[in-house]
């Protein structure tokens, strides 16, 4: 039995800077395994160990995703092996789901696909649902407390009306919430072992997927948030701080 976890090799937003005109500058950012996907790998590692399954990481991206440093970074987080499709950079959610679905089918004997909460680039949060639809598998998103006994996946979702407990029969797709686990930094032995784990690189053609046009972005309107007022409030005395905050909000016209 295999469990697949998807991961993205993407520029680290924590290393990006925002210019005065609002443009995000990634020129000094390094690529990392997305923070969302590091959480997904952490959860999936636990599920695979408990179920005695092989954990396969699947990544869809450009040539950078197939670089040794990228696969080792993902493998060091606990994958048993990796499958990378490296000719589908910024392919869009529908295409990415189609490629992952084909990759999952090519692997065979996959009981679960675990994904992160969102992608780092488009952040659409649509991948898991689209993938589940493509595979025809039951799907759950925003999952916490995920467990898998080899045939049934159980999870919890925090909804406005309360905590929902869900059970799905495998095969299934689960998108874990960003706080579903705390991703641990890979240990030194994990890093050294990563280079010895198997990696397969495939093209979309190998998987028999033809990327479809998903439309093009014709314009992006600039988000205009309110200008920051740079008001510092000393929080040593909470009562005085609250009073200062209220008066600052009144002065700004937020409160009557």
Partner 1 sequence: MPYTLTDEQELTRSSVREFAEAEVKPLAAEIDKTHRPPLETIPKLGEMGLMGMLIPEEYGGSAMDTVSYNIAIEELSRCCATTGVLVEAHSSLCTWPIVHFGTEEQKQKYLPALASGEAAGGFGLTEPGAGSDAGATKTTAVRDGDEFVLNGQKVFITNGGFAKTFVVMARSTDAPGVKGVSAFIVERDTPGFTIGEPEDKLGIRGSSTTPLFFSDCRIPAANLLGQEGQGFKIAMMTLDGGRTGIAAQAVGIAQGAFEAAKEYAKQRVQFGHPIAELQAIQWMIADMAVDIEAGRLLVYQAADLEDRGQPHGHASAMAKLFCGEMATRVAGKAIQVHGGLGYTTSYPVERAYRDAKITEIYEGTSEIQRLVIARTELR
| Stretch of residues binding partner 1 (CB under 8 A), selected from 47-55, 66-74, 91-99, 105-113 | 66-74
Is position 18 an interface residue for partner 1 (rule: CB under 8 A)?
no
- Of the pair 84, 112, the CB lying nearest partner 1 is at 84
Among 3, 103, 194, 209, binds partner 1 (CB under 8 A): 194
Separation CA 34–CA 243 (nearest Å): 41
Q: Is the peptide bond before 171 cis (omega within 30 degrees of 0)?
A: yes
What's the Cα-to-Cα distance from 90 to each of 58, 76, 114, 227, 240, rounded to whole Å? 15, 25, 20, 32, 50
Is position 191 an interface residue for partner 1 (rule: CB under 8 A)?
yes
Among 230, 234, 239, 253, binds partner 1 (CB under 8 A): 230
Specify whether the CB–CB gap between 2 and 107 falls below 8 A.
Answer: yes
How many chain residues bind partner 1 (CB under 8 A)? Answer: 18
The contact pattern for partner 1, residues 142-181, with x = CB under 8 A and - = no contact, is ----------------------------------------
Angle between helix axes 127-135 and 93-107 (nearest 10 degrees) is 50
Is position 73 an interface residue for partner 1 (rule: CB under 8 A)?
yes
- Of the pair 73, 118, the CB lying nearest partner 1 is at 73
Other Cβ atoms within 10 Å of 80 Cβ, number: 16
- The side-by-side arrangement of strands in the sheet containing 162-169 is 162-169, 152-159, 138-148, 172-176, 110-115, 2-6, 54-60, 81-85, 199-202
What's the Cα-to-Cα distance from 231 to each of 20, 140, 241, 243, 244, rounded to whole Å? 19, 43, 12, 13, 10
| Stretch of residues binding partner 1 (CB under 8 A), selected from 21-29, 69-77, 151-159, 210-218 | 69-77
Is position 65 an interface residue for partner 1 (rule: CB under 8 A)?
no
Burial tier of 43 (Cβ tally within 10 Å: 0-12, 13-18, 19+) = buried
Among 185, 210, 217, 221, binds partner 1 (CB under 8 A): 185
CB of 191 to partner 1, least distance (A): 5
- Of the pair 75, 100, the CB lying nearest partner 1 is at 75
Among 23, 28, 189, 236, binds partner 1 (CB under 8 A): 189
Provide the binding-site residues for partner 1, judged by CB under 8 A. 30, 32, 68-69, 72-73, 76, 185-192, 194-195, 230
């Amino acid at each position: 039995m295999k469990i697949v976890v998807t991961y993205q090799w993407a520029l680290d937003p924590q290393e990006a800077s925002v210019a005065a005109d609002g443009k995000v500058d990634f020129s000094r950012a390094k690529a990392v395994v997305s923070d969302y996907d590091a959480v997904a790998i952490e959860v999936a590692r636990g599920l695979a160990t408990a179920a005695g399954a092989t954990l396969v990481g699947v990544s869809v991206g450009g040539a950078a995703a197939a670089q040794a440093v990228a696969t080792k970074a993902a493998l060091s987080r606990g994958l048993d092996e990796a499958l990378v499709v490296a000719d589908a950079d910024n392919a869009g959610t529908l295409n990415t789901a189609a490629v992952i679905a084909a990759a999952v089918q090519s692997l065979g004997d996959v009981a679960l696909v675990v994904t992160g909460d969102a992608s780092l680039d488009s952040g659409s949060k649509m991948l898991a649902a689209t993938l589940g639809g493509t595979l025809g598998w039951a799907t759950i998103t925003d999952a916490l407390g995920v467990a898998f006994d080899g045939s049934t996946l159980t999870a919890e979702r925090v909804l406005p009306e309360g905590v929902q407990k869900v059970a799905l029969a495998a095969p299934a797709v689960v998108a874990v919430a960003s706080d579903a686990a705390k991703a641990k930094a890979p240990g030194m032995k994990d890093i050294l072992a990563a280079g010895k784990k198997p990696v397969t690189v495939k093209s979309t053609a190998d998987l028999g997927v033809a990327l479809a046009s998903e439309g093009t972005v014709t314009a992006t309107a600039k988000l205009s948030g309110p200008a920051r007022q740079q008001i510092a409030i000393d929080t040593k005395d909470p009562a005085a701080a609250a009073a200062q905050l209220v008066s600052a909000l009144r002065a700004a016209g937020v409160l009557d």
